[in-house]
Structure 1
Amino acid sequence: MKKILHTLLFLCTVLALSCNDDFLDQEPLNRLDESAVWDDPILVDLFLNSIYGNLLSSRARLDQPQGNEWSRSFSSLDCASDDCDGKLDAFIQNYLKNTITPSSDAHFSEQWREGYSLIRKASVLIDRVDEVPTNDPDINAQMKAEARFLRAFTHFELAKFFGDVPIIDREYTLNDDLLVSRSSFEDVISFIVSEMDLAIPDLPNPDVKSGRATKGAAMAVKAKALLYLASPLHTPGGDAARWTAAADAAKAVIDLNAYSLHSDFARVIRDKGNAEIIWDRQFSAPNRTTNTSYMWEIADAGPDGGGWGGLFPTAELVNSFETTDGRTITDPLSIYDPNRPYENRDKRLEATVIYNGQIYKGFRVEIWNDDDDTFEQLTDDGQHAIDLPGAGNKITTGYGLGRKIQNEELNTNALVNQGDDGNDVFIRYADILLMFAEARNEASGPDAAVYDAINQVRTRAGQPDLTVGLSQTDMRDKIINERRVELAFEEHRLFDLKRWKLAPVYLNSPMRGHRALPVDLAQAQNYNLDRENNQSPYRIDGGAGFTYSEFDLPGRDRTWDDKRYFFPVPQAEIDKNPNLLPQNPGW
């Protein structure tokens, strides 16, 4: 809303300064003739900016029905996977319980509504930008290419959600037949690829880190679209040619030599404009922020910097991080110690998850269970954050969302409540490397190029190279896990499980948490009250003085239903356009 107001003010200023008559005699902005926009390059660029501003992402998506702006940022589709519990996320819980219907007003209805609104705006610009007077035709060509990119990218997002969707490739008027039928997923991907190929020549080079479309971003989205098409959900039985096309498209991004892995994994999302980011939605304080700083934050993480506790990583996710010797924690040869479960682990774990005994926002966070079997959550400044069974923001899994996603610099309630301006990353270079490794492995097996791509990602994390000689199946399993730990909480996991057709394997059992029980409960409770015993193991070491065990989260049973491979087409859209039938299977 703030951006809209600033845009309107700017447009008013442009109109006033560009006219010789008294600006009080001008037509009000809300009745401005649409043709005036296409007569002014500045207004056209602002129109393009507004399209960027309408992109949906995990930090900017409604959780509650339309109009509940307070719930924006309150959702992450990762909580519909096995990586996280969406404690306060009503839509996600209903999705997991199979209780949503095509009439539900939630994520999927907003995705359709806002997606096609954006596509319409992009189509208007594409069809009209050639009318805009300019001394530099390259500027108009670039704006058209950016709009074409945004239209194609949004078609891809819609196809991820719904499968078969209508292709809108031009501006529609009231005189046109507006009852457009759905096109097949394969046809949608072909459209996306052709649109990106048209856009790429007129887009700026990848060294532009402005949050707008570049050649590299278009090439990366093209590669991802081809990867989805080749995946088992859309190509049952496999097709080596499709996998090869996806691998070649990802390799083309790599060969640009424009991107590299950021040196600090924990800062890969937080450090804006770093060389790993290929395509993101950008936010900027104070005018464009999100609510994730308090909606996703654990309660009282630090002396005065708590949140609502909306996202809690699961034990399944934590267990997927290897030990530093490159083995799984279930490997009897690994160096994993169940009594000190967070020592000698892949360093990405410490950046992704807040766990018992971790230092976060300058304080040691303690998350453990007492005699009522509810999680205590304290910080070593002496504050007692949560001690009420059933509290709305109480930790459910034993874990909080880590510094890779959350802003550790927001360490007071005042800063937390101002909102976060962290960007939403759609594609980064590590994703491209893993996409290439996956597609190449599926097309021709685990050759040296596959090892090189995945080992680059592992090396940045401090993990050893994979053992040479893996079978295609073993390499596939390694890539599946590598994507999970590398890209956690970037909204890839749910769609990865679906396209791999592994959702019935991973999403058909209760969510699990990790319980820390004090060895000496009385000492822990006394320390809980006065925090005077500085030598207590509960103060000096979050690993000592506890026994750890896993448990099923109450009320978080998951039963997979194949209809959930795709979201339902919103009933409100079918009521307006019966040609959207048939509904997706099972809905």
Structure 2
Amino acid sequence: MKMKNIISILFLVSASYYFTSCDDYLEMPAQTSFNQDSVFVNYRNAETYLYSLYERVPSIVLGWTDILNGPSRVSLTDEAGSLALQSSYRSHKVYGGNVDATWFTTSLGEDYYSRHWTSIRRNFIMIENIDNVSDITTTEKERIKAECKILIALEYFELFKRYGGVPLVKESLTADYPILDRESIENVVNYIVELCDEAIASPNLPAKVTRSIEFGRATKALAYGLKARTLLYAASPLFNTATPYMSLGENNKSICYTNYDKNRWKLAMDAASEAINFCESNGYAIVTDYGIDRNYVVACCKRPKDGNTEIMFGTMNSNSSATVRYTWSFRGRQRGAACNSPTHNAVEFYQNRDGSKVNWDQVIRTSAGNPDEPYENLDPRFDQTIAYNGSVWRTNPTMIVEFFDAGEDGVTDGKEGKKTAKTEYYYGTRKYLNGYEETSSGFLPMSPVMRLAEMYFIYAEASNEYQGPNATAFDLLDAIRLRSGMPEVNRSFSQEELRDFIVNERAVEFYAEDHRYFDVKRWLVQNPFVNIYNVKVLKWADDTYTYEKYLHQERAWYDHWYLHPFPQAEINKNYGLIQNPGW
């Protein structure tokens, strides 16, 4: 089916099926809300329904959406912030601590809780009915069933990492389906792994898609990767402990294992090793062919047809392409909305190319005519991720970013400076705008949901926790760093030093890829995202610049935020759903 036909039919099917909802337990539909016979009468309709199942898979590069109303999750972390004078940006409620169980889990919060259950149910409907389609091969039917199992597992992972133990539904719900309580962490993790293993075992699920039109469909690579990611979270301090972050009394098994087991790290290590071996035996590879100043861009932002051999699963944003650009662009000449402005915290993640660090705890004064001097030796991934004062934004015509204000009378403020652009941060996002700098028109970004690089990091982290520093972990980390022109990892690191190094390196490699918000929670980092730093950039009459780091914002953090709350409306139904502690 041609893509333009898929898109037009998809819109109609979405209107008819996806947005049908009700207030019953776990999105159980009214019996007349869904005409299954009309969908599964032929392959054309079933295929359209299949494509609609991918509408709500995780998206990272958001535009003006019903989640946070402009900002993406990057702005909930120390990676970025949102313009304070724009009161409609919902991220400000998190900064001030003005959130509750309803806000976090409904359309304008961080997670739309009910959509997970809608998606789970719709995937089970496909599994249960695809055999009724007559004009489709058995091979394709089995492929679709395996895909749906991965999508169900993906939804359960998204629930697990936010809420801990949740009810487990293993078929499409009907009116007489029994009420389910929260399951233990162990049961939820085991079910996700079971679904992934079933998909992996399917001989009809491809290792990767070979046709560009199918980019974004689930594959065995995603199943292997999701299994490894799930087991990494399960092994992490938030869950792999005898003492939960806050007590839930007799229900503690729904928020942690209630014991520490070192072997959980081994399970994650082995799963990552299997994922790496499978992927690299089936055409996936770390991107290395485009030079140190472009490898990272290709790995994070480009599709397979454009040379990305690393992407295991990516999605194309379905919002207006123009509004996606504005939410990620900086203010000033780029007409940006300053929804996701990088913080100075993010800048300090980056080492210099020789492995040293810039000393930002002192005022830095540049030589005359060198505005980018503090940044000129940083990790090449920095220049491919963040725009900074003196950086070349585009070359046709040439545009040099001017994130500075006048230091004294007689000096003109920079075009992207705070006084001119009325923004707050002296940095802008480049990562998802690479290749689109020459125009202010819209673009269709890719959300890099899973990359092979993540499997390398999972192995390194899990193996270090299980057995301490080891050659394989070092080699895998080196592969990521060397492709971007960075030196090898110090082989003399202790287990604790390597742990800290991996934490920082994940922040660099996966900047704005929706990892850090959940990473610091699973690591149980104390008071994360509280102190947010900026840097004041001033230009002086002698054509020098000064850079002065300062505390820009103090954000709220409460320990009960390590896990999300369930919607208060669900708790109030009194069917047995236990709220997470502190909410």
Give the TM-score, by structure 1 length: 0.81
User: What's the CA shift for 1:43?
Assistant: 1.1
Rate the CA distance shift 1:223–1:6 in 2: closer, same or farther, 3 A: same
Q: Does the alignment pair 1:342 with 2:375? A: yes
Correspondence for 2:404:
368
CA contact (8 A) 2:13 2:52 kept: no
Correspondence for 2:561:
564
* Inter-partner Cα distance in structure 2 for 1:310 and 1:283: 17
Correspondence for 1:532:
none
Equivalent in 423, 443, 448 of residue 395 of structure 1: 423
User: What's the CA shift for 1:493?
Assistant: 0.6
Q: Report the AA paired with residue 260 of structure 1.
A: A
SS at match of 2:403: strand
Rate the CA distance shift 1:298–1:452 in 2: closer, same or farther, 3 A: same
User: What's the CA shift for 1:108?
Assistant: 4.7
Rate the CA distance shift 1:561–1:150 in 2: closer, same or farther, 3 A: same
User: What's the CA shift for 1:5?
Assistant: 7.0
CA contact (8 A) 2:64 2:327 kept: no
* Inter-partner Cα distance in structure 2 for 1:443 and 1:338: 45
CA contact (8 A) 2:53 2:122 kept: yes
Correspondence for 2:18:
none
Tell which deviates more after alignment, 83-92 or 346-355: 83-92
CA contact (8 A) 1:227 1:439 kept: yes
Give the TM-score, by structure 2 length: 0.81
Correspondence for 1:549:
548
* Inter-partner Cα distance in structure 2 for 1:107 and 1:465: 43
Correspondence for 2:247:
none
Q: Does the alignment pair 1:306 with 2:335? A: yes
Q: What are the Cα deviations for residues 273-311 of structure 1, in whole angstroms up to 9, with x where unaligned?
A: 211100111248xx974732011201244xxx4221211
Note the 1:118-129 alignment, pairs <5 A. Answer: 118-129=119-130
Correspondence for 1:583:
579
User: What's the CA shift for 1:456?
Assistant: 0.6
* Inter-partner Cα distance in structure 1 for 2:412 and 2:340: 17
SS at match of 2:61: coil
Note the 1:101-116 alignment, pairs <5 A. Answer: 101-104=100-103, 105-106=106-107, 108=109, 110-116=111-117
User: What's the CA shift for 1:270?
Assistant: 2.6
Note the 1:35-434 alignment, pairs <5 A. Answer: 35-60=37-62, 74-87=70-83, 88=86, 90-104=89-103, 105-106=106-107, 108=109, 110-134=111-135, 136-177=137-178, 179-202=179-202, 203-206=205-208, 208=210, 210-236=215-241, 238-256=260-278, 257=280, 258-263=283-288, 264-273=295-304, 274-283=308-317, 289=321, 291-301=323-333, 305-330=334-359, 339=366, 340-362=373-395, 363-370=399-406, 378=414, 384=415, 394-402=422-430, 404-409=431-436, 411-413=438-440, 415=441, 419-434=442-457
* Inter-partner Cα distance in structure 2 for 1:498 and 1:461: 28
Unaligned runs of 5+ in 1: 13-29, 66-70, 379-383, 524-536, 538-544
User: What's the CA shift for 1:338?
Assistant: 6.6
Correspondence for 2:540:
519
Q: Does the alignment pair 1:438 with 2:461? A: yes
* Inter-partner Cα distance in structure 2 for 1:5 and 1:137: 25
Q: What are the Cα deviations for residues 47-98 of structure 1, in whole angstroms up to 9, with x where unaligned?
A: 1100102224233487658xxxxx76x1221211111112246322212322
Rate the CA distance shift 1:407–1:572 in 2: closer, same or farther, 3 A: farther
Rate the CA distance shift 1:387–1:10 in 2: closer, same or farther, 3 A: closer
The percentage of aligned residue pairs carrying the same residue is 29
Rate the CA distance shift 1:342–1:61 in 2: closer, same or farther, 3 A: closer
Q: Report the AA paired with residue 307 of structure 1.
A: G
User: What's the CA shift for 1:207?
Assistant: 5.3
CA contact (8 A) 1:261 1:429 kept: yes
Correspondence for 2:494:
471
Tell which deviates more after alignment, 358-367 or 290-299: 290-299
Correspondence for 1:460:
483
* Inter-partner Cα distance in structure 2 for 1:357 and 1:574: 53
User: What's the CA shift for 1:372?
Assistant: 10
* Inter-partner Cα distance in structure 1 for 2:568 and 2:110: 9
Q: What are the Cα deviations for residues 390-436 of structure 1, in whole angstroms up to 9, with x where unaligned?
A: x7xx332211011x2224425334x1xxx321111111011111111
Q: Report the AA paired with residue 169 of structure 2.
A: I
**How many residue pairs align between the two structures?**
513
SS at match of 2:9: helix
SS at match of 1:361: strand
Rate the CA distance shift 1:31–1:446 in 2: closer, same or farther, 3 A: closer
* Inter-partner Cα distance in structure 1 for 2:514 and 2:136: 42
* Inter-partner Cα distance in structure 1 for 2:556 and 2:412: 30
| Structure exhibiting the larger radius of gyration computed from Cα positions | 1
Q: What are the Cα deviations for residues 124-148 of structure 1, in whole angstroms up to 9, with x where unaligned?
A: 1112222222452111000111111
CA contact (8 A) 1:244 1:439 kept: yes
CA contact (8 A) 1:397 1:512 kept: no
Q: Report the AA paired with residue 357 of structure 2.
A: T
SS at match of 1:367: coil
Rate the CA distance shift 1:367–1:377 in 2: closer, same or farther, 3 A: farther
* Inter-partner Cα distance in structure 1 for 2:63 and 2:169: 23
Rate the CA distance shift 1:31–1:558 in 2: closer, same or farther, 3 A: closer
User: What's the CA shift for 1:494?
Assistant: 1.1
SS at match of 1:425: strand
Unaligned runs of 5+ in 2: 15-31, 243-259, 289-294, 367-372
* Inter-partner Cα distance in structure 1 for 2:140 and 2:184: 34
* Inter-partner Cα distance in structure 1 for 2:534 and 2:51: 43
Q: What are the Cα deviations for residues 23-46 of structure 1, in whole angstroms up to 9, with x where unaligned?
A: xxxxxxx99943132221221111
Q: Report the AA paired with residue 35 of structure 1.
A: D
Rate the CA distance shift 1:161–1:197 in 2: closer, same or farther, 3 A: same
CA contact (8 A) 1:45 1:143 kept: no
User: What's the CA shift for 1:491?
Assistant: 0.8
Rate the CA distance shift 1:464–1:386 in 2: closer, same or farther, 3 A: closer
* Inter-partner Cα distance in structure 2 for 1:92 and 1:376: 33
CA contact (8 A) 1:369 1:376 kept: yes
Correspondence for 1:541:
none
SS at match of 1:578: coil
SS at match of 1:103: helix
Rate the CA distance shift 1:60–1:464 in 2: closer, same or farther, 3 A: closer
Rate the CA distance shift 1:171–1:489 in 2: closer, same or farther, 3 A: same
Rate the CA distance shift 1:63–1:467 in 2: closer, same or farther, 3 A: same
Correspondence for 2:256:
none
